Amino acid sequence: MGFDRDGFVSECASAVKAGDPLGAGVGQLLERAISDPNSIEAEIGDRTTVPSMIVWHRSDEMTIFHMVWPPGVDLFAHDHNMWAAIGVYGGREDNQFYDLRPDGRIEPSTGKTLTRGDTANLGIDVVHSVSNPTREWSAAIHVYGGDYFAVPRTMWRGDTLEPAPLDSALISQAVELAAESARTTSERNPEV
Ligand SMILES: [Fe+2]
């Protein structure tokens, strides 16, 4: 059977309602869905030349969205202040994790590369930056254990790693710039 988007959303909502404080239950549901990337692509479409962030569910308890990122994107380090489950069904997403210092600045720690079919569960305190260093568009399903758009968050500028309130316009701008650059590159090299 193919991927059932509404069924997936309601299963995740049920898991959260039943008590899933670290997102482990949702992580398992996402892992199962992502293990069959072809059926997700068949249901919600392949990656396109347009970045997108389409919200499938938003409540105080949980946010789910479908994310498409361009090649070359490299986003500021940020926190979520809630657990997250990330599942990549196309392309690649490189995570750089950071340790938070007492002065509020961050320093790089470990990293994790997610490729097609991979999932990751991120804890409530995680700080990460995400990039797609490939020439392929990446596509993922993200689930968060709260209202992603309402909870105050912090970002860290790449040059200083100093904290600042998260500026979603700045992040959208970085995504759009990478998308424009990817489109220009593929026009110049149509065989790529
Ligand atoms: Fe994130």
85-100 pLDDT per residue, tens: 999 999 999 999 999 9
**pLDDT of 98-120, one tens digit each?**
999 999 999 999 999 999 999 99
pLDDT recorded at residue 185 = 80
pLDDT, tens only, 124-181: 999 999 999 999 999 999 999 999 999 999 999 877 789 999 988 888 888 899 898 8
User: Which tokens sit at 143?
Assistant: 């689930």
CA of 116 to the centre of ligand 1 (A): 18
Residue 93 contacts residue 162 (beta carbons within 8 Å): no
Q: 6: CA distance to ligand 1 center in Å?
A: 23
Say yes or no to pLDDT of 182 above 90.
Answer: no
CA 188–ligand 1 middle distance (angstroms): 32
Containing domain of residue 60, as a range? Answer: 5-188
For residue 129, report the distance from its CA to the centre of ligand 1, in Å: 7
Using one digit for the tens of pLDDT, what is the confidence trace for 52-87? 889 999 999 999 999 999 999 989 999 999 999 999
Amino acid at 27: G
**CA 42 to ligand 1 center in whole angstroms:** 26
Number of domains into which the chain is organized: 1
pLDDT digits (tens, 9 = 90+) for 1-57: 689 999 999 999 999 999 999 999 999 999 999 999 999 999 887 677 788 889 999
pLDDT confidence of residue 184: 85
What's the predicted TM-score (pTM) here?
0.92
pLDDT at 98: 96
Which residues of 70-188 form beta strands (DSSP E)? Answer: 77-79, 84-90, 92-100, 106-115, 118-122, 127-131, 138-144, 154-156, 163-165
What's the pLDDT at 191? 55
pLDDT of 190 strictly over 80: no
**Residue 127's domain is classified under what CATH number?**
2.60.120.10
| Model pLDDT, residue 158 | 77
What is the distance in A from the centroid of ligand 1 to the CA of 78?
Answer: 6
- State the pLDDT at residue 183: 83
